[in-house]
Structure 1
C-alpha cells in the first residue's frame, strides 16, 4: 500500500485489489457488504497510523476513488474547536470531491460506474508492471502490436515498465492491452510517479518500439 502525506490533517493512500485480497477481503464482498467495507477501511487506517503516525481521533472526512486496479483513499481529520468541526480540505486538482460519503456506499457506486466494457473510458488507463528479467521485455516487444505509450524504468535493482492505453481505446480494448502486458510482467504496488521521481528511465514513451527495433 502506497501512503502519501498531503498535509498535517490529510493523507492519501492507494491499495491494489490484489493487496486487498491478500488482507483476506473479497473484491465483490467489499462492494456490497457495508460491514466488510468498513472493516477494510479501518484495517488500512491502522496501517497508515502505524507507518505515518496519522492519528484518527476526531471526525474523519473520507473520499474513495475506485480505480481500474485498486482504490485511492483520501482521509482528512477534522479539528474540533468549541464544539465546531473545522475541516481543511485540500483544493488541489488531484483531490476532487466527487465521492464523499460512507465507504461502503462509495465502493458500491464505484463498482456500478465501471461496468459496461464496450464503452470508452473517459480517461487513459496506465498500469505499472515488474519484470522478472529484462529478456521478458524483449519478448514482449516482439509480440506487442498496440500503439500505446510504454516506458521502461530501473529501480532498486529491478526493471519496471508502464503501459498507457489512451482514451481512443474502448474498455474492452484497454483490458486486452493490459492482459497482454501481464503475460510478461507482474502486478506491483510501485506507482508510475515513484518511478518517474526516483527510478532511472531506460526508455520513455516508446520503449516497446525501441526494443522491437534494436533486439
Structure 2
C-alpha cells in the first residue's frame, strides 16, 4: 500500500492486487458494502494519518479507480460533500461538525499504464509488442522524470492482454498515476500510435 499527498485535503492510495488478496478482498468486493472493505478503509486512513498527518475526520469524498493488472487507486478528498439542498435538513446544517459523510465513486478503467525509467526500455518493449503483433497503438508521456506508456486494453483478446502485461512488467513498473493526472501534469510525447511510431524511428 502506497500513500501520497496530492494537496492539503487530498491523498492518493495505491493498492496492489496483492494488498487486496492479503486481506481476503477480491477486486469486485470494492464495489460492495462489506466489513472487510470497511476495515481496509480504516487501515488506509490510519496509515495516512501516521505517514502524512492526514486527519480523515468529517466528510470525505472517495474515488476508487480499478486499473487492469496493476491494482486500485483510491483518491480521498477531505471537506464538504456536496449534497443537494433538498437532501439536507436544518438539523444537519446545525450539526455539520458531527456528521460523518462518505461519498464513493467507483470507476473501472480499460487503461493499462506502465512507467519506464529509460527511453531504451520503452523502445525495447515497443519492439516486443510489435513483434508479437499485439497492438500498434498507445500514448507516450513524460511525467516526474519517467516515461509513461498508456495502452487501451479494450478490444484485446485475453491471451494478447496477458502477453502485453507480461512484456510491460518485464521492462517497466506498474504505476498508480491516473490518466487525468497525466493529462494535466504530464507532457505528451506521442499522442497516438506510440508503439508503431517508436518502432519506426528507433
Fold in common (TM above 0.5): yes
Residue 56 of structure 1: CA displacement?
A: 2.2
Where 1:140 maps in the other structure, the secondary structure is helix
Counterparts of 1:99-138 in structure 2 under 5 Å?
125-138=110-123
Residue 127 of structure 1: CA displacement?
A: 2.1
Matched, 1:197 2:198: no
Distance in 1, matches of 2:23 and 2:56, equals 30
Residue 43 of structure 1: CA displacement?
A: 2.0
How many residue pairs get matched? 177
Residue 65 of structure 1: CA displacement?
A: 6.0
Q: Give the TM-score taking structure 2 as reference length.
A: 0.62
**35-44 vs 188-197, greater mean Cα deviation:** 35-44
- Is the Cα–Cα contact under 8 Å of residues 125 and 165 in structure 1 kept in the other structure? yes
Query: What runs of 5+ residues in structure 2 fail to find an aligned partner?
Result: 82-87
- Is the Cα–Cα contact under 8 Å of residues 163 and 178 in structure 1 kept in the other structure? no
Q: Give the TM-score taking structure 1 as reference length.
A: 0.59
Aligned match of 1:146? 134
User: Can you list the C-alpha shifts for 1:17-55, whole angstroms capped at 9, x where unaligned?
Assistant: 16x63xxx64462348x7664443212113445648443
Distance in 1, matches of 2:178 and 2:124, equals 23
Query: What runs of 5+ residues in structure 1 fail to find an aligned partner?
Result: 100-122
Counterparts of 1:38-117 in structure 2 under 5 Å?
38-49=38-49, 51=52, 53-57=54-58, 67-68=67-68, 69-73=70-74, 80=92, 96=105
- Is the Cα–Cα contact under 8 Å of residues 165 and 177 in structure 1 kept in the other structure? no
Residue 134 of structure 1: CA displacement?
A: 0.8
Aligned match of 2:16? 17
User: Relative to 1, partners in 2 of residues 1:209 and 1:190: Cα closer, same or farther, differing over 3 Å?
Assistant: same
Where 1:183 maps in the other structure, the secondary structure is helix
* Residue of structure 2 aligned with 1:155, choices 143, 155, 171: 143
4+ long deviations beyond 6 Å: 59-63, 74-79, 82-90
Distance in 2, matches of 1:61 and 1:203, equals 33
Matched, 1:208 2:195: yes
